[in-house]
A = this chain, B = another copy of it.
Amino acid sequence: MLRFEIKARDAAGRIGKLEVNGKKLETPAIMPVVNPKQLIVEPKDLKKMGFDIIITNSYIIYKDEELRDRALEVGIHKFLDYDGIIEVDSGSFQLMRYGGIEVTNREIIEFQHKIGVDIGTFLDIPTIPDAPREKAEEDLRITLERAKEAEEIKQIAMNATVQGSTFLDLRTYAAEKLSEMNFEIHPIGAVVPLMESYRYKDLVDVVVASKIGLRPDRPVHLFGAGHPMIFALAVAMGIDLFDSASYALYAKDGRYLTPEGTKHLDDIEYFPCSCPVCSKYTPQELREMEKEERAKLLALHNLWVIREELNRVKQAIKEGTLWELVDERSRSHPKLFAAYKRLLEYKDYLEENEPISKSSAFFKVSEEILRTPVVLRAKERAERVKQKFSQTVEHPIFGEIPKYLALTFPFAQSEAEEDFTIPKPSKKDAKLYIKAVAEYQFGENASKAFEDAFVELSRKTGMPRQIKAKGKHLATFRAEDGLLTLGIEGAKRLHQILPYPKMRVVVNADAEPFARKGKSVFAKFVIDADENIRPYDEVLIVNEKDELLATGQTILNGKELRIFKQGVAVKVRRGVES
């Protein structure tokens, strides 16, 4: 019905591939809100700009006899003249804003199906922030009842929105309950009032409380969030989908979006943008235009800047610099700064999702960034390794670290305020580097696998390269991050040394022959996994009898490995032929 898989990740954010009814979408993505009664930008033009998904309101269409008849007759795609993915809201928002609507849950779900939407939404009850506890509970009870009804009758991919007001336990509870049911996407609802009043810190609490309860394999939509100033933070929390009505609403009102906030056209003397609108006109020229033309151009600018900031976020995920972007963006507004610091308090949630390695160096661009999981984890693991490898060097960011970790991410791959030099291994102590890294990367006792290792040093760079023992390949020391990629012999040794379930990804019998041949392991074949596995870890793939089948790199963490049913779970590097 709807497929979703993770292609890349950073912080708790991810680049995903979503597919529904044969139409594809890369996430994080934003769906421009299309008001069927007033098209400021034609949906097909949105598609041309790269918006592969839009959202409209099925309740507005349903309520208007003319629109309803036409939508039923030609279908929503023809109705809007848009061949991308069309999602619809149910009228829940209208319920929150205006108190009541004239349609039942069943009616709106059936209508959504009949007009051929790609992703529907049942009629959940949004509870505004700071509502009385009883109200939030009662609303949630009804929402969950309606979810049950929706689950029974739905024939299309469907949103199940997490509610619970600002009661974090209710958010987690709702998320858990809805995760147990058969839905495809989980929006987080009723957060618009928080965003409108800049309560970003509360937004962080609500989002993380929801994310903690949600299955990790379904996309999460931050309902009503479309301002580029929060994209980086929201994606870092694990948000995959956004929607924006503001591009058009703001435009009508002369408001101009930037990744740092909203400006009014009247206050702009220089456009801080180079989009097709801003590179062609001056602010003064726009001010002098007819209202309608100006609104259209402002809407286009707003869309371009939304697209641009999402691109920036996606590029940061690819580079592994999302925390740096969040840090930078948090300087746009004190409430965003506060929200960033609040997010960093969710240490465990963040650490679980944080990749083991990145393609970019860690940048110390603030004091706050020293509380991101990449730093905390590195320090914690270094502390552990120090017990066995007590020789230390002083690092300008990480303090006293074991000398033999000095080549490894993020210690060597980091940029401090002052330059520092990385000690190079000698032939004599090269093995100690490998052993320390093994303990750091694979956990306690892992160094035992390398007791008799011989380490080749690169003639060109002086850095460790291949690690062998008795003519067999144990591992490769990766030049880019100073971590180890296992050879078959290395994997076998670690498999012997480390007790089950450490480092294991357990696959079923169907996957065994493929894994042994070195083919990638798909998530649907995974039965179990070590919950301490982190994204991009090197893992051991075993069968149910804990026989070693292969070694490779996982894109999922331990929890996700158990849950995901779609996409590649482990890129196998080497299979162990039986």
Interface residues of A (CB under 8 A from B): 201, 260, 267-276, 279, 304-305, 307-308, 311-312, 314-315, 318-319, 324, 327-338, 363-367, 415-418
Closest B-chain residue to A201, C-beta based? B417
Give which listed residue, B273, B336, B337, contacts A274 with CB less than 8 A.
B273
Q: With the chains together, A307 CA to B337 CA distance in Å?
A: 28
Closest B-chain residue to A360, C-beta based? B267
Given A267-B319, A363-B334, A365-B337, also A308-B274 (CB < 8 A): yes
Q: List 29 A-B contacts (CB under 8 A).
A: A201-B417, A267-B319, A269-B314, A270-B311, A270-B312, A270-B314, A270-B315, A272-B308, A272-B312, A273-B274, A273-B308, A274-B275, A274-B276, A274-B304, A274-B305, A274-B307, A276-B276, A324-B332, A331-B365, A332-B365, A333-B363, A333-B365, A334-B363, A334-B415, A334-B417, A335-B417, A337-B365, A338-B417, A367-B367
Q: With the chains together, A279 CA to B260 CA distance in Å?
A: 20
Q: CB-CB < 8 A to A338: which residues of B?
A: 417-418
State the oligomeric state as a number of copies: 2
Q: CB-CB < 8 A to A268: which residues of B?
A: 315
Q: CB-CB < 8 A to A366: which residues of B?
A: 331, 337, 366
Given A272-B315, A279-B304, also A417-B331 (CB < 8 A): no
Given A274-B274, A367-B367, also A331-B335 (CB < 8 A): no
Q: CB-CB < 8 A to A267: which residues of B?
A: 319
- Asked if B270 and A279 sit within 8 Å, CB to CB, the answer is no
CB distance from A414 to the nearest CB of B (A): 9
CB distance from A201 to the nearest CB of B (A): 8
- Asked if A365 and B334 sit within 8 Å, CB to CB, the answer is yes
Q: CB-CB < 8 A to A415: which residues of B?
A: 333-335
Closest B-chain residue to A49, C-beta based? B279
Q: With the chains together, A315 CA to B275 CA distance in Å?
A: 17
- Asked if B272 and A328 sit within 8 Å, CB to CB, the answer is no
Q: CB-CB < 8 A to A308: which residues of B?
A: 271-274
